[in-house]
Structure 1
Amino acid sequence: MRGILVSSTVTACAAALTLPFLASSPASPATSPERPGARGSVPAALRPVSVPGSTQSLPLVTLGTADRARVGGPAKEQGLPQQEVEPFSLVGIVWDDATAELRGRAQVRTRAVGSGAWSGWQDVQTHDDDRPDLGSPEARGGRLRGSTAPLWVGASDAIQVRVRPDALADRTPEGRSLPAGLRLELVDPGVDPAPARGARAAAPPDLTEEELASSTANLPLAPLGATEIPALDKPASEADIAAAGTGGRRTDDPAETTDTTDTTGTGGLSDIPDLGELTIPRVTDLVEEAADSAEGADPQDDSVAAGGRYVGPRPRIVTRAGWGADESLREKGFSYTKRVRAAFVHHTASGNRYTCAQSSSVIRGIYRYHVVSSGWRDLGYNFLLDKCGSIYEGRAGGVAKAVLGAHTLGFNSNSMGIAVLGSFGTTNPPAATVKALASLTAWKLGLFGANPLGTTTLVSAGGNLFKKGTSVKLKVISGHRDGYATECPGDRLYGRLGAARTAAARLQGR
């Protein structure tokens, strides 16, 4: 039996900003509504008073003569002239057809809250290849939109936008370079969760149905309502194999792409009709059960035998409750793939102008942009890392489990996506970030018997580098560009993957 220490419960969310709209515009911003039924069947008295964060959505317009003269753009340039809006911190551009590309250059300049100083023009990465597979249930739902990468600009209250099409794009067989329905998305990530009080596990009435499901998926690694999953040494971490659900499965089976989806709406809690009837098992009992399961597994099963020897120490992981996820935004239920054969490393291309104290806000902004603006079922990445080396839980479903993400178009099945907050085309990733990447992959890949220094075979679901159905040999720790023709994760971060592989293997004891 191994002990577990956890932080305390999540408190109620802070109120959203309600500053007035400051000036008229060509198109008034619309605040994106939450999807009907996103809230669980929790009595109104038990729900948070308000939900933090909001999204303003403004259609782009063809710039007039005066605007074109000021910014030097062509006649077909779209954008927005300078205008005041409600406060926001993250910006992106979306359009109607998720399969269409924006072939051009998108730039924004923003005015900082408080100082009133305008930034210079900043590029928004127009190609966002971190997304769901187009043939997946997530894509077939009909909600997906095309989207740029999000850009973190900090607290701002005014913006100017220009989107210039490529000069020769309209002569290409694909047709127009600017897709239909271009809209500017301005995301306010809301206020950080209040500091946790005490060190007890949350009681069910403190959690909404979605919060309960998300937190339950991390049992027995942490109690309900925990804001972090604690670090463990290597021997104790081996019991996490049971939480991964790998017992009885071999890691040398052919790659599988069939996904299993929990559609109960409660993330595996279909037998819980009412929160008041929930009986919470003691965490110590669950830990003993997980350890017993690992010890009693078939020694001939490679996934358990190899994993038992080579699971790296579990690093500290900030949970979704810890960074303040609004669980009512995502779709109910969780989607799982068969196992985790590979880790794809990304950068968010959201810029490096954030402090470590703002990391949770950046993640909430990306989460809201992925779900509300882009139409995804949840945050796309399985994990996120910041410049100080902190590790954050991404898509809900359990950090030890094989949660199906939306991160590497064509290779989301049987893999996990790890995104580093920032842009690393010309900026070196901090040493703390590379160390965190090694720690996370040593632990999570070890649960599934994967060697960080090895290779694996995945089957492409279709992309611009490999046709659908192609079996592709990849490094177990790969960059996004290894599976898709893209600059992600940036040359400087990509160049550090070799060091991360070596460090991860060493942490596994190889």
Structure 2
Amino acid sequence: MLSWRSIRRLVTAFLAVALVLSGLMLSRAQDPIAANAPIAGLDEAAPTPAPEAEDAAPEPKGPKPVVRTKETVVPKVQAGSPKNVVAELPQTRTTSYGMVGVTWSAKTTDKDISVAIRSLTNGKWTSWETLENDDDAPGDAGRPGTEPVWVGKAEGVAVRVSSKSGTRPDDIKVLTIDPGGVDEAAKSTVTSAAYTPGGVMNGTARVTTAAEVTPTDGSPTYTPKPTIIMRSAWGASAGGSCSAPLTGSSTRGIVVHHTAGNNSYAKSDSAKIVRGIQAYHVKGHDWCDIGYNFLVDKYGQIFEGRKGGIDRQVRAAHSGNGEVNTYAMGVSMMGNYDEVVPPEALKAAMVKLIGWRMGTTYMKAKGTWKVSEKNLTLNMIAGHRNVVGTACPGKYAYAWLSAEGGLRDRVEKYISDYSSDIKTRAAELGKTVTGPVFIGEAPVTDGRATRFGKGYMYSTPDVGAKFVTFASGFYDKYKALGAQGSALGFPKGDSPTVSSSGTFAQRFEHGSIFAVRTSTKTTNYAVWGAIAATYTKLKEMSGQLGAPTSSVITESTGSRANFAKGYIRYFSESKKTVAYDSSGKVISTSTATSTNSVTIPESRTITVKGHGFGHGIGMSQYGAQGAAKAGEKFDSILSTYYPGTALGTKTGNIRVLITKDTTASVIIKARSALTFRKGSGGTAVTLPATIADVAVTKWMITPLSSDKTKSVLQYVTNGAWTTYENKIWTGDAQFEASAIRLILPGGSDVKYRGILRSALPKAGSTDRNTVNVLSIESYVRGVVAAEMPSSWHPEALKAQAVAARTYGVRGIVPSHYYDMCDTTSCQVYRGYSAETEATDAAIAATKSKILTYEDKPAFTQFSSSSGGYTAPGSQPYLKAVPDPHDDWSGNANHEWTKSVSAATIEKAHKSLGTLKSITITKRNGYGDWNGRVISLKLVGTKETITITGNTARTSFGLKSNWFRF
């Protein structure tokens, strides 16, 4: 609520637009904080960003409240008046009104003023009612006074002013307010579709549906914007000096109020009440606008309050504390919740409104924030009484804030599933880079966007979350072109890169913005489309053309961009792009050809060109080798492929499922110093090398033939299996030695370190699986040698060692009977038999080192070859990053060509009939040809189907999903 002490009255019913004051001239129209008043102790030294010009709402039109000021209360007190009454307005008939309040001069020093009123309704005078004072205006800004009170339709008013000191306030005014009777505007609520956020986010806002809260397809979940009755719908006046409102740099908390007054208003009264409150705040208190950011009635209707504050923290006048007014959203419940419990419709609306603001600005529902003014610590969702001495928001509402299942609990639950890659990426970059959230996350065309203090962050499923900074003019240029709706598309890099010439570049889906610096200024140029592709092939700023000197310019024949040492032209009709040096000599020519579609020729064979081998997520093994050959160390290599991770350490054991052993038995070659143990904690038994003077050649743990839920230990001497010492048991058992040779089906054997366990997949199972239990370091020795050639550079082997160790550690699940498998479904592990001196040295050099993210083992996926650009993965640190080191002479996977027969595709997709054509419909936007294939359409004689790029990779028999025709 507004800055009010001990407020209990709920102001109720409809209120609408502008105010006409009769008999009272006010000297100024401003908030109770001077426009330039400093607020001490804030954590942002820079001024907060001002709303952009396009954010301004149109001037609302509707019923205009009429404010009438009665004559100054007579100094002489009537005979028989109560003690301490210092001034009165006797029972006076006046023009019909619905709201009344009393104000006095700011020069008044008496703080013990009390005002009571009675009103005439239907010819009867009500009993005296004491109004709550509104004492929250800091300093002498505005006029102090009472809260306004809704009285319905009244025709008369009487006022008594009391003071314990006996001092009469100066310049007492009684304001009666007719909020206006034309309510058609208030009947039309404005939904999310009618609200558009500021900046470039304003063109495409849409209704956020319930499906965004609980999607069924695994997509992100967002907090929907509730229906809000806009100022133009409830009939707001234009307001005064805050028509271009001051804004805090972020929303730091929520303050809950009630309006006080009565609780018996009808739903059709609510807009009138809001109009009346605004009228009283402007014409009575001399503020520039209504004091709250939002108001919510008992029917669950949400009203926009102070102008400009729907999606950002507009400074209001609700708390009596300048810093809180600037950084906390003030929400007032319409009613007196010192007298009644807030109804459920109001509660539900409060949860939706506060949950939306907190969710989309990445706030927590619980916790605290610091207010330097008066050294306050406030809950994220606080009551007005926590800021100043007041009963607001009433005892029942205040108890609901912290009750079990109350407002804080409900908001916390409401936003608990909020998932946003913008939120995640912003946390990675940190406030030093992004600044605080200024405008909360909202939908834009084909994606979402959030405005931070230092730039905008955009997100699209194809590209992920990327930041466009205000610095060096990048965002201004992007916005001027049309932002994500322009030829550039969404950003695909969030850190401007710098060339050797000192020119910075921000990368987008279809081009780049360059910040070209001279000794006197920085100028931004945008290059996109075919011109950008040619410029990239010519090595951009460091190539033959140098830095841009213009953006793309439209010509009659196509388009053109100028550079320091030449220019590039694109000819629309021929689809040809030609680069010229400064003398006009042609230095490059290319003609656009379709890389995304192919018609099946008579030969029934198509040629597919591609990049990379594998899924491309995380580290490229060939890229790591290329980087190592170029002089990079293993930690630098890892930071390229897993940005945002840190080196940590981990020791212990790991359990590996040996998939090559497909039988239910564990058969090993006999050796000395071999131990048998039932379970992992049983007594160790040393097994003999000979029995009855005959050498034992094999040992076996196998299910008992008569009861396969039990196991038996057997051995071989002279070619026959014999049960050893009648050892029969239920559960796991294992062989232990420094190294053990496991005999596989078919007779070959593989040597493993540590333990070979016969493990039950679950209790009571008749099946068994072979599991190798060994130290993490020993495990990695069997992985690196299997995953990367031992002849490769030591720094590449070290990078592989850390990635393999981390991948294994992340897979440890104590509740399961094994942690990792030994195939490419996990990572390849071949045991002791695969170890080499070079890979062992790399493992020893990185002993115990793993990569961590937020102090947990990272998901260090890797593949053979990235093809020059990695693919985005499921984690914040699995980003799409350029990988120039993947292209070296020894990497035959960087570029490849494959002939694919139509019959192969038809066999994999039988519903097609005869394949007629293939068209790639979507790519991920990273690298050559606009990146990896996300989806493609297959047209056949019987059916047309759409498949994913990964499905195509498998059914076409390709090395990766990054391909063209």
Shorter-normalised TM range:
0.5 to 0.7
Counterpart residue number, 2:359 = 446
Structure 1 residues 47 and 437: alpha-carbon distance in aligned structure 2, compared to 1, 3 A threshold = closer
Counterpart residue number, 1:105 = 114
Taking the aligned partners of 1:424 and 1:392, their CA distance within structure 2 comes to 18
**How many Å apart are 1:375 and its aligned residue?**
0.9
1:34-433 matched pairs, under 5 angstroms? 52-62=64-74, 64=76, 67-69=78-80, 72-74=81-83, 76-97=85-106, 100=109, 102-112=111-121, 115-129=122-136, 131=137, 133-134=138-139, 144-166=142-164, 169=165, 176=167, 178-195=168-185, 232-233=209-210, 235=212, 312-327=223-238, 331-410=242-321, 411-433=324-346
1:503 aligned to 2:406? Answer: no
**How many Å apart are 1:328 and its aligned residue?**
5.4
Taking the aligned partners of 1:384 and 1:237, their CA distance within structure 2 comes to 27
Structure 1 residues 199 and 357: alpha-carbon distance in aligned structure 2, compared to 1, 3 A threshold = closer
**How many Å apart are 1:118 and its aligned residue?**
2.0
Counterpart residue number, 1:455 = 368
**How many Å apart are 1:184 and its aligned residue?**
0.8
User: Secondary structure at the residue paired with 2:330?
Assistant: strand
Taking the aligned partners of 1:358 and 1:222, their CA distance within structure 2 comes to 32
Taking the aligned partners of 2:368 and 2:234, their CA distance within structure 1 comes to 33
Q: Deviations over 1:326-362 (max 9, x none)?
A: 2255643111111111100011123324222100000
Taking the aligned partners of 1:17 and 1:414, their CA distance within structure 2 comes to 32
Taking the aligned partners of 1:47 and 1:341, their CA distance within structure 2 comes to 29
Q: Deviations over 1:31-68 (max 9, x none)?
A: 668989xxxxxxxxx99999621111124434646x33
Taking the aligned partners of 1:100 and 1:63, their CA distance within structure 2 comes to 17
**How many Å apart are 1:485 and its aligned residue?**
1.5
Structure 1 residues 475 and 327: alpha-carbon distance in aligned structure 2, compared to 1, 3 A threshold = same
User: Secondary structure at the residue paired with 2:152?
Assistant: strand
**2:293/2:305 contact within 8 Å kept:** yes
**How many Å apart are 1:15 and its aligned residue?**
11
**1:406/1:412 contact within 8 Å kept:** yes
Counterpart residue number, 2:23 = 30
Taking the aligned partners of 2:169 and 2:76, their CA distance within structure 1 comes to 19
Structure 1 residues 108 and 332: alpha-carbon distance in aligned structure 2, compared to 1, 3 A threshold = same
Counterpart residue number, 1:262 = none
Taking the aligned partners of 1:360 and 1:388, their CA distance within structure 2 comes to 12
Taking the aligned partners of 2:343 and 2:312, their CA distance within structure 1 comes to 28
Counterpart residue number, 2:937 = none
User: Secondary structure at the residue paired with 2:176?
Assistant: strand
**How many Å apart are 1:104 and its aligned residue?**
3.4
**2:102/2:172 contact within 8 Å kept:** yes
Supply the AA of the counterpart residue of 2:143: R
Taking the aligned partners of 2:361 and 2:399, their CA distance within structure 1 comes to 25
Taking the aligned partners of 1:368 and 1:103, their CA distance within structure 2 comes to 26
**1:32/1:57 contact within 8 Å kept:** no
**How many Å apart are 1:99 and its aligned residue?**
7.6
Structure 1 residues 474 and 200: alpha-carbon distance in aligned structure 2, compared to 1, 3 A threshold = closer
**How many Å apart are 1:492 and its aligned residue?**
0.9
Taking the aligned partners of 1:330 and 1:323, their CA distance within structure 2 comes to 21
1:475 aligned to 2:372? Answer: no
Q: Deviations over 1:360-390 (max 9, x none)?
A: 0000000011111111111110000101111
Q: Deviations over 1:182-215 (max 9, x none)?
A: 11111111124435999999xxxxxxxxxxxx98
User: Secondary structure at the residue paired with 1:444?
Assistant: helix
**Percent of matched pairs sharing the same residue:** 27
Structure 1 residues 221 and 437: alpha-carbon distance in aligned structure 2, compared to 1, 3 A threshold = farther
Supply the AA of the counterpart residue of 2:228: I
Supply the AA of the counterpart residue of 2:262: G
**How many Å apart are 1:509 and its aligned residue?**
2.0
User: Secondary structure at the residue paired with 1:412?
Assistant: helix
**1:232/1:315 contact within 8 Å kept:** no
**How many Å apart are 1:313 and its aligned residue?**
2.5
* Structure with greater Cα Rg: 2
Taking the aligned partners of 2:190 and 2:76, their CA distance within structure 1 comes to 59
Q: List alignment gaps of at least 5 residues for structure 1.
A: 1-12, 19-28, 37-45, 171-175, 202-213, 239-307, 461-466
Q: Deviations over 1:409-433 (max 9, x none)?
A: 1221211100111212122111211
User: Secondary structure at the residue paired with 1:317?
Assistant: coil
RCO (CA 8 Å, sep 6+): is it higher in 1 or 2?
A: 1
**How many Å apart are 1:216 and its aligned residue?**
7.0
Structure 1 residues 488 and 190: alpha-carbon distance in aligned structure 2, compared to 1, 3 A threshold = same
Counterpart residue number, 1:280 = none
TM-score (norm 1): 0.63
Counterpart residue number, 1:286 = none
Supply the AA of the counterpart residue of 1:402: Q
Structure 1 residues 504 and 198: alpha-carbon distance in aligned structure 2, compared to 1, 3 A threshold = closer
**2:17/2:275 contact within 8 Å kept:** no
**2:60/2:231 contact within 8 Å kept:** no
**2:17/2:62 contact within 8 Å kept:** yes
**How many Å apart are 1:501 and its aligned residue?**
0.8
Taking the aligned partners of 1:199 and 1:414, their CA distance within structure 2 comes to 27
Taking the aligned partners of 1:425 and 1:220, their CA distance within structure 2 comes to 44
Taking the aligned partners of 2:327 and 2:398, their CA distance within structure 1 comes to 21
Supply the AA of the counterpart residue of 1:30: G
Taking the aligned partners of 1:341 and 1:30, their CA distance within structure 2 comes to 41
The total of aligned residue pairs comes to 364
Supply the AA of the counterpart residue of 1:326: S
Q: List alignment gaps of at least 5 residues for structure 2.
A: 1-15, 30-57, 418-965
**How many Å apart are 1:85 and its aligned residue?**
1.0
**2:260/2:334 contact within 8 Å kept:** yes
**How many Å apart are 1:165 and its aligned residue?**
1.5
**2:296/2:349 contact within 8 Å kept:** yes
**1:343/1:476 contact within 8 Å kept:** yes
Counterpart residue number, 2:639 = none
Taking the aligned partners of 1:448 and 1:378, their CA distance within structure 2 comes to 25
The alignment yields a C-alpha RMSD, in angstroms, of 3.9
User: Secondary structure at the residue paired with 2:357?
Assistant: helix
